[in-house]
Structure 1
Amino acid sequence: MNFHTRKWIKPEDLNPNGTLFGGRLLEWIDEEAALYAIIQLENPKTVTKYMSEINFASSARKGDIIEIGLEPIKYGTTSLTLKCEVRNKMTYDTIITIDTIIMVALGEDGKPKPHGKTQIEYQKDRMAK
């Protein structure tokens, strides 16, 4: 799994318990999944279709640094399925796992559009074309 983004937990990210607010973390995960899928599918009109069960295993506190990791699982005709893990860089604990996030590429009409991708592409490979 590649960990692309780090976040520093600040006071505005906390719930009344003084730990990371789950809604804030899900916002970050959704944004990171969208960015990853947009880049991979080369389509800025890529949206979240589905997130599977979310399993909070631990939390983070003010001042902690977390990492968001994504791994592509499957390329569909119009979709990209990802797996996610978020871990606390300070404690090395896994904070959350999401087994399935499905991102769908849309056309100008707002309907799913085939993307033609079958595997991860890296910038260096695209530049070589």
Structure 2
Amino acid sequence: MEEYFNISETRICKAVFPETLNANNSLFGGKAMQWMDEAAYISATRFTRQKMFTASTGKIKFLKPITPDSIIEVIARVIKAGPVRLKVSVQVFSENMYSHDRELAVESEFDMVSLNDKNQPQRIDYSSLQH
């Protein structure tokens, strides 16, 4: 199973442009959450190869403001697999475009649930993970 936790790791990089900034001249929190949800979804789908959806998120911790001229990297990885639900850790790192400064800026955990053909929750088919 550890192999599938490793395979689930998903990395998305984005540049912080003016249209993503809030009134405080930092990345709009909703935009960060959108990118985190996208990475969690991809991570869960890579793990199960089944239809997934976001059931809930843990507390989203905004640790550092993400400023203009930053590159962000969103890293998502399945950390726990249950019968219906996966827990995905998501971290957002911010790095200055013009230096090597990099720091953890946002983190949370997402609960992702498998869906059947009628878009209802279903048990995850772990037999499909076997080679």
Give the TM-score of the pair, scaled to structure 1.
Answer: 0.83
In structure 1, C-alpha distance between the alignment counterparts of 2:37 and 2:10, rounded to whole Å: 14
Q: Does 1:47 align with 2:53?
A: yes
Q: Can you give the 5+ residue segments of structure 2 that lack an aligned partner in the other structure?
A: 1-5
Q: How many residues matched?
A: 119
* Partner residue, 1:117: 126
| Match for residue 107 of structure 2 among 92, 97, 113 | 97
Contact conserved, 2:60 with 2:106, CA < 8 A, in 1?
A: yes
Note the aligned Cα RMSD (angstroms): 2.0
Q: Can you give the 5+ residue segments of structure 1 that lack an aligned partner in the other structure?
A: none
Give the TM-score of the pair, scaled to structure 2.
Answer: 0.81
Superposed counterparts of 1:58-77, under 5 Å: 58-77=64-83
Contact conserved, 1:75 with 1:117, CA < 8 A, in 2?
A: no
In structure 2, C-alpha distance between the alignment counterparts of 1:52 and 1:15, rounded to whole Å: 23
Name the amino acid aligned to 1:13: T
* Partner residue, 1:106: 115
Q: Percent identity?
A: 26
Q: Give 1:3 shift.
A: 5.9
In structure 2, C-alpha distance between the alignment counterparts of 1:69 and 1:104, rounded to whole Å: 19
